Amino acid sequence: MERRCSPQGIAADVTGPHRGVFYVLKKLRLVVAGDIGCYTLGATPPLQAMDSCICMGASLGVAMGLEKARGADFARRVVGVIGDSTFLHSGMTGLLDMVYNGGTGTLIILDNSTTAMTGHQDHPGTGYTASHQPAPKVDLEQIARALGVHRVQVVDSYNLETLERAIQEETAAREPSVIIARRPCALLKKEKEAVYAVSPDNCLSCRYCLDLGCPAISFSDGHGVIDPVLCNGCGLCTQVCPGEAIRKAGEEDE
């Protein structure tokens, strides 16, 4: 059947900055032990990059269980994925347990600087209390190191090349590792970023842009189409387009 738009629909836009992580995880064909948050939508088409989701904080426990059951070689193909607020709520113990029990897995912390799923509440990593009073701000990188993880990388969630390299490096390492994929939730921005548009003349009709599951992208009249109202200017689609057909709006015909 002809694909005309992302089957995820508009609700999936809450995956915002996490979309690129799931795109890369799917590309690398990794086993993904997921967790509870807006990013759980990474399990839905077209991303379909989450293999388990049990309860808050279960991601790394599942990944560790897979390593115990299938061995350290299999663990090279497994990652745990958890949001920043969920990690601080109930994920830290799983990381400590993995270090303590000799695990060699990789945890990706999707840091969007908020608790997006339940309405953008603050958490100990934002520097504010739930009633938005100033509070001590904990550092995710320092927490990971304090729990005994020596391999910690912080990467930009909007840079697919950097994401892929970091995930390949850390899953290959035979020791515990943490990747913090960082970008604030797109819905937190007060000002709209410059949006992107497709140049129909340069479009190859390959539909690769639809694989991102971005609700702003559809396919019509033989070329990709970007809805400027839904586009948040993340630039991910420009990184997957082989025809260089996607550029900032106003520059697509240059």
Residues that bind ligand SF4 (CB under 6 A): 196, 198, 203-209, 212, 214, 216-217, 223-224, 226, 231-237, 241, 243, 245-246
Instruction: Please measure the distance between the N-terminal and C-terminal CA atoms of the chain and give it in whole angstroms.
Output: 34
Q: How far is the CB of 42 from ligand SF4 (least distance, A)?
A: 15
Q: Which residues, 6+ apart, have CB-to-CB distance to 62 below 8 Å?
A: 33, 52, 54, 80
Q: Which helix (H) or strand (E) holds 79?
A: strand 78-83
Residue with Cβ nearer ligand SF4 (39 or 87) = 39
> Is the distance from CB of 207 to CB of 2 less than 8 angstroms?
no
Residue at 233: amino acid letter? G
Q: How far is the CB of 11 from ligand SF4 (least distance, A)?
A: 15
Residue with Cβ nearer ligand SF4 (166 or 231) = 231
Supply φ then ψ for residue 110, to 5 degrees: -85, 100
Residue with Cβ nearer ligand SF4 (119 or 221) = 221
Q: Is 186 left (phi over 0), alpha (psi -120 to 50) or beta?
A: alpha
Residue with Cβ nearer ligand SF4 (23 or 87) = 23
Residue with Cβ nearer ligand SF4 (88 or 198) = 198
Q: How far is the CB of 152 from ligand SF4 (least distance, A)?
A: 27
> Is the distance from CB of 59 to CB of 25 less than 8 angstroms?
no
Cross-strand partners of 110: 83, 181
- Extended beta strands in the chain, E state: 31-33, 78-83, 106-111, 151-156, 177-182, 196-198, 217-220, 223-226, 246-248
Q: How far is the CB of 226 from ligand SF4 (least distance, A)?
A: 4
Residue at 186: amino acid letter? A
Q: How far is the CB of 15 from ligand SF4 (least distance, A)?
A: 11
Q: How far is the CB of 31 from ligand SF4 (least distance, A)?
A: 25
